[in-house]
Homo-oligomer: A and B are copies of this chain.
Amino acid sequence: MNTHQHSTPELTKNQGLVYDSLSHAGGPLSAYAILDDLRDHGIRAPLQVYRALDKLLEMGLVHRLESLNSFVACQHPDCDARATMLFAICSKCSCVSELAGEDLEAQLKSLAASDGFTVQAATIELRGICSACGQSAA
């Protein structure tokens, strides 16, 4: 049940477990939720999870949601080459969708540049109501 399109470089055992747990969850998980999920598979300590997450983040297979202290599997085919990413987090159902902001990045950079600031990385997390929840509760 591995739905990613990435040209997955060989993952180690723990990296694979953590990545599968995340993709399988279909939503954000905290490191400790992943830990619980993987107890039966030999993962016993937080560090095992954090170490795998670090590598997966480097590879761009996983993203970190700062405002939730949690992690999601990347929803895009090919994320290392990625422009600025944007996460839309639903306040009701907690679902997360990952949007690409082509112009957004340029605009952010120019806005920052007007203050003499050179952007290296951007965290953009929106809170709101997703389309599914918006329809169900008028």
Q: Which residues of A contact B (CB under 8 A)?
A: 66-67, 86, 88, 90-91, 97, 99, 101, 103-104, 107-108, 111-112, 115-132, 134
Given contacts A121-B128, A123-B66, A128-B117, contact A104 B107 (CB under 8 A): yes
The one of B90, B116, B124 in contact with A131, judged by C-beta atoms closer than 8 angstroms, is B116
Closest-CB distance, A57 to chain B (whole angstroms): 13
Distance, CA A124 to CA B108, complexed state (A): 10
Q: Contact at A121–B115, with CB atoms within 8 Å?
A: no
Q: How many subunits of this chain does the assembly comprise?
A: 2
Task: Please report the C-alpha to C-alpha distance between residue A121 and residue B119 in the assembled complex, in whole angstroms.
Answer: 22
Q: Closest approach, in angstroms, between the C-beta of A124 and any C-beta of chain B? A: 5
- Contact (Cβ within 8 A) B88 A115: yes
With contacts A101-B107, A104-B107, A108-B124 known, what are 13 further pairs, Cβ within 8 A?
Answer: A66-B67, A88-B117, A99-B111, A101-B111, A108-B126, A116-B132, A119-B126, A119-B127, A120-B126, A120-B127, A121-B127, A123-B125, A123-B127
